[in-house]
């Protein structure tokens, strides 16, 4: 089950990134062009948060089952000296949790704004911050923190 969840988690990250980037694009163009906040804009706001929450749930399950994380917590003083172990034991989990909390707050605030311009601006700011945090927390092949392939396979 662990390897299937890991592969699923790896694939869903791309959906999360696509939704966030497209939501930021819609928020930017809506803000600049003074568009009305349409049902489609609201749907992307909602589905971006929903996809990220699904990813978080899978990530939490992986965190509790991960042999890397178990090894980290079995001897955390020694493991803190290994950046790869520290990344999965603490950095990735904490940054992603912060990102999803900020995404949820930004989505909720945007939903409750009274004007369309405020909705777009709120989405643009909060989702952009989240995107930066997520880019830092993903174990890209080029990351100095921990490197993994673009898509994990079985």
- The residue ranges of every structural domain in the chain are 2-137
Whole-number Å distance between alpha carbons of 19 and 52:
9
Q: Which residues, other chains included, contact 67 with Cβ-Cβ below 8 Å and sequence gap of 6+?
A: none
> If you compute the radius of gyration of the chain from its CA atoms, what whole number of angstroms results?
17
CA angle 121-10-24, nearest 5°?
10
pLDDT of residue 148: 83
Mind listing the pLDDT tens digit for each residue in 1-38? Answer: 888 999 999 999 999 999 999 999 999 999 999 999 99
pTM value?
A: 0.90
Tokens for 113?
């704004």
pLDDT of residue 154: 57
């Amino acid at each position: 089950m662990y390897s299937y969840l890991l592969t699923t988690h790896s694939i869903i990250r791309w959906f999360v990134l696509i939704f966030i980037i497209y939501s930021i694009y819609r928020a930017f163009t809506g803000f600049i062009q003074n568009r009305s906040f349409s049902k489609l804009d609201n749907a992307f706001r909602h589905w971006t948060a929903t996809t990220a929450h699904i990813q978080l749930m899978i990530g939490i399950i992986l965190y509790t089952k991960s042999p890397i994380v178990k090894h980290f917590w079995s001897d955390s003083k020694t493991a803190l000296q290994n950046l790869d172990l520290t990344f999965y034991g603490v950095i990735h989990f904490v940054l992603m949790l912060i990102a999803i909390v900020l995404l949820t707050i930004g989505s909720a605030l945007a939903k409750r704004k009274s004007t369309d311009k405020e909705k777009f601006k709120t989405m643009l700011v909060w989702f952009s911050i989240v995107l930066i945090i997520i880019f830092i927390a993903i174990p890209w092949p080029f990351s100095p923190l921990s490197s993994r392939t673009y898509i994990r396979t079985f």
